[in-house]
Chains A and B, each alone.
Chain A
Amino acid sequence: DTEVTQTPKHLVMGMTNKKSLKCEQHMGHRAMYWYKQKAKKPPELMFVYSYEKLSINESVPSRFSPECPNSSLLNLHLHALQPEDSALYLCASSQVLNRAGNSPLHFGNGTRLTVT
């Protein structure tokens, strides 16, 4: 079982809907991530939170709005999405990097999003 839990597993939404994806981890990690993966493509980074503060936004459109309410939770709020936003959305967490070493990311199983 993955230690990063994502809900829901599947989501179908219309272009005018507002929905949220949720992610939770209890490994004490202080860095959390959202990735997007299209079919037959590698995961692509969207956002990074470090100590509950947004540290990286990879030029993601504003119809995607991340939120980190506390060190264990990460949300992705969705509004006015387009059909091309349909993809697998992956959450991950890790220890925060420092110069002494690196830390692997641990991924959840993702939310399969379909925008109609």
Chain B
Amino acid sequence: DQQVKQNSPSLSVQEGRISILNCDYTNSMFDYFLWYKKYPAEGPTFLISISSIKDKNEDGRFTVFLNKSAKHLSLHIVPSQPGDSAVYFCAASAATGANNLFFGTGTRLTVIP
């Protein structure tokens, strides 16, 4: 049973425009959410996270928004750059004392120069 879902397997965006990647979750116990970026032949690289006590966290070109009532989060990348082309995974965990991350299935972002 997939507790974290990314319903868009792929997204194409023009360079300089905004990329919006979406993620939904079903487990109301999740209170920590992360976005990872993955290039081929590499492990996932941590991008940005957000705790459930916040609804927005920003780091440079990357902003994550959390809507707890809708059990939805999104990652905004502005402006998008060709180097951002990768697979993006959403992940979530509950504060149980161990960091068991549940991953979404990923969205492949292609930024067109």
Contacts and interface: CB of A to CB of B under 8 A. Distances in A.
A97 B49 CA distance: 14
Contact of B101 (A6, A40, A45, A55): A45
Interface residues of B, number: 26
Contacts of B96: 97
10 contacts: A2-B42, A2-B45, A33-B99, A40-B105, A42-B4, A43-B103, A55-B98, A56-B98, A92-B43, A102-B32
Chain B interface, DSSP helix/strand/loop, else mixed: loop
Interface of A: 2, 4, 6, 31, 33, 40-45, 48, 50, 55-56, 90, 92, 94, 97-99, 101-110
7 closest Cβ contacts across the A-B interface?
A42-B103, A107-B43, A102-B32, A104-B46, A109-B43, A107-B44, A109-B42
A97 B99 contact: yes
A97 B45 contact: no
Contact of A48 (B31, B32, B100): B100
B99 A94 contact: yes
Interface of B: 4, 31-32, 34, 36, 41-46, 49, 51, 89, 93, 95-101, 103-106
Nearest to A45: B100
